[in-house]
A and B are shown apart, each in its own frame.
Chain A
């Protein structure tokens, strides 16, 4: 029972802190806005071009905003030695990982929910009918990104070159997630039947499960060396 309480309290604390200081969300939002703005002027907005380039643009924006947000995930724990308090907690350290991970997933989904209407607006996308499919893809890809991002954020938070190390570790590992997410998003934009791109979503789910389980297991050793 302590295990689930710990998860709940950590996720609550992370979301509440973020809502109050808005440091991460504002930097992520403005970065994504610039990406959308630049790409919207770089490509002609005919439906065929939009269909071809949109999956890539969306995931470039989401991927890099994830790097900005997830990279700072454990920064708050370093101030005032809160990481030390986590170390001394009488709970499995995996609970701390899951709490941070859930907080990050919710936080990322909030950012994506804010950003996606901007894509619709700037690129004149017709997505109303396909919205549930987009939601599914964004959800499963965000889980995978957050699982890896939470782990690598904890690994690099005490490293001096944290800003450099975090993307170096995250991006190669996240390649399968980006490939799956872009291909599935392309399927939705092309108007393909769900069966034609569902294998990409299945791939994302498999990676989600692997990344969450492995990160949960490794986290014990990261925090309690």
Chain B
């Protein structure tokens, strides 16, 4: 089943066209990697699917639901790890997780939170206030939230940014696990070799349009753009 479907999506900011009639499908259990130069519109496309932006034209569906009309239902199934960490500086790591899940209606047990934090490698810092976390640790915290929410649609913006080598391996493990469980993953990245370990399909956004490429083409090219 198609989990994410974009149909002729266009987006303009004032007179600047960022996306031009982009169509894209990501099936359940599939990981789709989006490449493109800075400012190509990768984040904008992700934010449209995350229901944060409305497209200027075109439409999209998430798990068969209309992306513009059925936003409340769609939001139950998706989670975005974006540029923001969505953390509160004065709350501890555990409190931030409890809050992030609590406002969504989740009730993770202390044990579940501990397991998730241990898995992403920040279990030892669970009582630390998030203001003291590094960018990489904040990213790991976002991944821990994802592990507890287990969304059907996972959107990863600059997936590997701020993560160290072990962090990248851990994230790829998580992506494989989510895909195996049937989640659809749409990620933007610049790291082709790491992406090739988990991505099933890939595309390049350049000059506002999306061109699909195979994983082999992605790896073989000297430069994608």
Query: Which residues of A are interface residues toward B (Cβ below 8 A)?
Result: 1-2, 5-6, 8-10, 12-13, 16-17, 20-21, 76, 79-82, 84-92, 96, 224
Contact = CB atoms under 8 A, between A and B. Distances in A.
A76 B52 CA distance: 19
A85 B146 CA distance: 13
Contact of A90 (B72, B83, B99): B72
B86 A82 contact: yes
Interface string B87-128: 111110001001110111100000000000000000000000
Given A16-B95, A81-B82, A224-B71, A89 B88 contact: no
Query: B-side binding surface: helix, strand, loop or mixed?
Result: loop
Interface residues of B, number: 29
Contact of B85 (A5, A17, A81, A90): A81
A9 B103 CA distance: 6
11 contacts: A16-B90, A80-B88, A80-B89, A82-B88, A84-B52, A85-B84, A88-B75, A89-B104, A90-B72, A90-B104, A91-B104
A42 B80 CA distance: 57
Interface SS of chain A: helix
Contact of A9 (B52, B76, B79, B102): B102
A6 B105 contact: yes
B162 interface: no
Contacts of B79: 88
Nearest to A87: B52
A9 B75 contact: no
